[in-house]
Amino acid sequence: MSKFEALAGNEAVATAMRQINPDVVAAYPITPQTSTVQTFANYVADGLVDTEFVTVESEHSAMSACVGASAAGARVMTATSANGLALMWEIVYIAASTRCPIVMGLVNRALSGPINIHCDHSDVMGMRDSGWIILFSENGQEAYDNLIQAVRIAEHPDVLLPVAVCQDGFITSHGMERVEIYEDADVRAFVGEYRPQWSLLDLEHPKTYGPLDFYDYYYEHKRQQVEAMQHAHRVIQEVAEAFNRTFDRDYGLFEPYRLEDAEVAVVVANSTAGTAKVVVDRLREEGLKVGLLKPRVFRPFPAEELAEALAHLKAVAVMDRSISFGAMGNAGPLFLELAAALALRGVRMPMADYVYGLGGRDILPREIESVYRDMLRVAETGQVERMVTYLSVR
Amino acid sequence: MATKLLPKELAKRPDRLSPGHRLCAGCGASIIVRQMLAAIDEPVVLSNATGCLEVATTIYPYTAWRVPWIHNAFENAASTISGVEAAYRSMVRQGKIPEQDVKFIAFGGDGGTYDIGLQALSGAVERGHQFLYVCYDNGAYMNTGIQRSSATPLGAHTTTSPAGKVIPGKQQFRKDLTAIMAAHGIPYVAQAAPSQWRDLMKKTRKAVNCGGPAFMNVLSSCNRGWRHGTDETVEITQLAVDTCYWPLYEVEEGVWRLTYKPREKLPVEEWLKRQGRFRHLFRPENRHLIDRLQEEVDRRWERLLRLCGEA
């Protein structure tokens, strides 16, 4: 029997880690991820897991040790935020190209500078081209569920790529919520045993990991990473189906909310999607045909399915919690990629980007409502006044 | 029974680093690696920092390694092997893999060890992982084309500390990394040189059997950077030892011990004059640099003798 617990998002993630019982965790504390590793350290100290907890001296060493442990055939996890992820940077790419199925709990926080410990998505957006699979989570429940699924996605023989599971710093990482925790045995059965195919510790069959790879092969190895990402698109959905059957959930590539008959929609990831649902309900009471699309899988980007899900709309707004400086219109990355996805599939509609919540700036229901009302006007006129709006900036 | 450290016995052991790699003729690194790995009878798993040893032995799709080997990046050979070792301990404890007496060894050059990888090394030994870190110290970033490192001797010409008209080569003494590692209080730290091969091999055996983290700093000539003939490697390395620029000693459980005392301590210029990187020091206006280097070598030697209870 599963049970309901009042847990902060980080505790929910730590609980999933306890249930998954990875062979190795290498992590370094950073706000707002810290309570994940602290909680997990208690599990280690109390003998609740078999994990070797490598208390590294930096995030660079955390990811380095993860790569070493993963190459050695271990099931490996880590967790970080913002500057910690940035310090890992070099090895984040190496983890993906070495095809290490590492799972990372990423608590989204604004990247310095100036230094700021609160939520935005500038950290994860920096890793979008690194070769990692990236999943978003609206709340503690989704962070917990995504982390469990991430293990199976990462270790699938057709994938073998690392996975980052995102949740919003402080908003969900420290916000206490009702989380359904499944039986330990059920979680362990779901993730199964990891059977590495090319372990460095297979002493009878020595492997060389991380050789020098020049112009005669490097390109083909990069192409193989592309194929792994293509496979991931399928495997993520297969794992979600299995998860939904086992735990009675409804995961897919994204979550549509009152989208089917909507004329105007907002696309927004992580915790703000929860607030936006409330706004949608309120506006629906007024008879306004509004909906929401909450991306779950950001890498690999499900362009085809997103275009299809949004094709019937008269106008779409994207809400971005980060800026791609110097990109078209200084817009946010989610908007830019979604706009390209729709345009290339001949889905033409007015689109606008709303940057919000940088450095943990509150986002209020009335601000989200203003986005909907803007887009309802746009749907009528067919004209977008401003491609990018910076919500509630002074 | 461990293989006796006799050339006849050792020659029977298969090379763990196979011939055909692309390291230069006369390279110290390959001599050191082969000697050290020949000293170990147990299975080994290696990690390797980015550098000459890495690039010249694993040009895809070839590998010169007949043992498990991983390269991750430049500064993280220690943290990478710490992950491998943690994985091994975890999976053995859980009964997922059989327990064997595996020796985990990381190799890095002085750039990857004294400089960019010092933090990762310090962290890994502090955590107590059971592994040996070997620095093959050739005193510069040789792989990228002979740039200064904190291991480069005072006065040496490198491409980032060139002997110019105003500044005659590197302006600082070498960082004493071996002492820094000894200060970590780990079970075994040693300084060695391939010219004293039996000493090097004995130390290797002690290091991998010390029951905790171990560090060895091994002088490795690079004839491209040091500027000498490819057939002079061992001889010039021995001059570093006999001038006491590179004393051979070990620190076992905190006890310092000299493992080789030159019969006659030679002036440091006997070592300098054999290498093109110091040529400019022999101009009259630069003589004071040789004197400064000699003073520092003497000071460090005296300190070492005191630490080893020989003074």
pLDDT in tens, A141-189: 999 999 999 999 999 999 999 999 999 999 999 999 999 999 999 999 9
Interface contact A72-B71, CB threshold 8 A: no
Query: Which CA distances in Å does B13 have to A72, A144, A394, B76, B251?
Result: 26, 52, 74, 30, 29
Residues of chain B neighbouring A55 (CB-CB closer than 8 A): 127
Residues of chain A neighbouring B88 (CB-CB closer than 8 A): 72, 201
Cα dihedral across residues A21, B211, B182, B271: positive or negative: negative
Residue B1 pLDDT: 75
How many angstroms separate the CA of residue B301 from the nearest CA in chain A? 33
**CA dist., res. A253 & res. A300, Å (int):** 10
If DSSP codes are grouped into helix, strand and coil, which group holds residue A309?
helix
- Judged by a CB distance cut-off of 8 A, whether residue B63 touches chain A is yes
Give residue for tokens 């040009």. Answer: B59
Which bin fits A227, alpha (ψ -120 to 50), beta or left (φ > 0)? alpha
Cα dihedral across residues A95, A100, A102, A107: positive or negative: positive
Residue A115 pLDDT: 97
**CA dist., res. B138 & res. B146, Å (int):** 10
**Residues contacting B222, CB < 8 A, separation 6+:** B24, B27, B28, B52, B138, B139, B140, B142, B146
Question: pLDDT tens, B59-89?
Answer: 999 999 999 999 999 999 999 999 999 999 9
Is the peptide bond preceding residue A114 cis, with omega within 30 degrees of 0?
yes
Which chain A residue's Cα is nearest to B70?
Answer: A209
Provide CATH 3.40.50.970 ranges for chain A.
3-247
- Judged by a CB distance cut-off of 8 A, whether residue B75 touches chain A is yes
Nearest to A65 among B55, B65, B83 (CB): B83
Nearest to B87 among A23, A209, A213 (CB): A23
**CA dist., res. A291 & res. B269, Å (int):** 81
**Is the confidence metric ipTM above 0.90 for this complex?**
yes
- Judged by a CB distance cut-off of 8 A, whether residue B180 touches chain A is no
Which CATH fold would you assign to the domain A254-390?
Answer: Rossmann fold (3.40.50)
Residues of chain A neighbouring B89 (CB-CB closer than 8 A): 52
How many angstroms separate the CA of residue B78 from the nearest CA in chain A? 9
Provide CATH 3.40.50.920 ranges for chain A.
254-390
Nearest to B45 among A58, A90, A201 (CB): A201
Residue A83 pLDDT: 98
How many angstroms separate the CA of residue B229 from the nearest CA in chain A? 28
Correct CATH for B13-307 of 3.40.50.970, 3.10.129.10, 1.10.3720.10, 3.30.70.20: 3.40.50.970
Nearest to B86 among A24, A203, A217 (CB): A24
Residues of chain B neighbouring A56 (CB-CB closer than 8 A): 79, 82, 123, 127
Give residue for tokens 């193989």. Answer: A224
Which chain B residue's Cα is nearest to A100?
Answer: B72
Which CATH fold would you assign to the domain A3-247?
Answer: Rossmann fold (3.40.50)
Query: Which CA distances in Å does B294 have to A312, B132, B198?
Result: 82, 32, 28
Residues of chain B neighbouring A70 (CB-CB closer than 8 A): 83, 87
Residue A1 pLDDT: 87
Token pair listed for A200:
């460095």
What are the backbone angles phi and psi of residue B257, rounded to the nearest 5°? -145, 130
**CA dist., res. B35 & res. A176, Å (int):** 59
Give residue for tokens 């991750």. Answer: B72
The pLDDT confidence band at residue B113, using thresholds 50, 70 and 90, is very high
Residue B311 pLDDT: 83
Residues 32-51 of B with CB under 8 A from A: 43, 45, 47
Residues of chain B neighbouring A48 (CB-CB closer than 8 A): none
- Judged by a CB distance cut-off of 8 A, whether residue B18 touches chain A is no
Give residue for tokens 């069959």. Answer: A205
**CA dist., res. A383 & res. A351, Å (int):** 9
**In chain B, domain spans:** 13-307
Question: pLDDT tens, B135-192?
Answer: 999 999 999 999 999 999 999 999 999 999 999 999 999 999 999 999 999 999 999 9
Average pLDDT, rounded, for chain A: 98
By C-alpha distance, which of A309, A315, A317 is closest to A380? A315
Interface contact B69-A73, CB threshold 8 A: no
Residue B160 pLDDT: 98
The burial class, CB within 10 Å (0-12 / 13-18 / 19+), for A348 is exposed
How many angstroms separate the CA of residue A98 from the nearest CA in chain B? 9
Let me know: does A233 contact A300? Beta carbons within 8 Å.
yes
Interface contact B81-A68, CB threshold 8 A: yes
**CA dist., res. A336 & res. A323, Å (int):** 10
What are the backbone angles phi and psi of residue A354, rounded to the nearest 5°? -120, 105
Token pair listed for B155:
């006065």
Sequence-separated contacts (24+) of B179-182 with Cβ below 8 Å: B181/B121, B181/B125, B181/B215, B181/B217, B182/B251, B182/B256
- Judged by a CB distance cut-off of 8 A, whether residue B96 touches chain A is yes
How many angstroms separate the CA of residue B215 from the nearest CA in chain A? 18
Residues 101-130 of B with CB under 8 A from A: 102, 119-120, 122-124, 126-127
Question: pLDDT tens, A274-297?
Answer: 999 999 999 999 999 999 999 999
Nearest to A210 among B70, B86, B87 (CB): B70
- Judged by a CB distance cut-off of 8 A, whether residue B99 touches chain A is no
How many angstroms separate the CA of residue B171 from the nearest CA in chain A? 31
Residues of chain A with pLDDT under 50: none
Residues of chain B neighbouring A213 (CB-CB closer than 8 A): 60
How many angstroms separate the CA of residue A56 from the nearest CA in chain B? 7
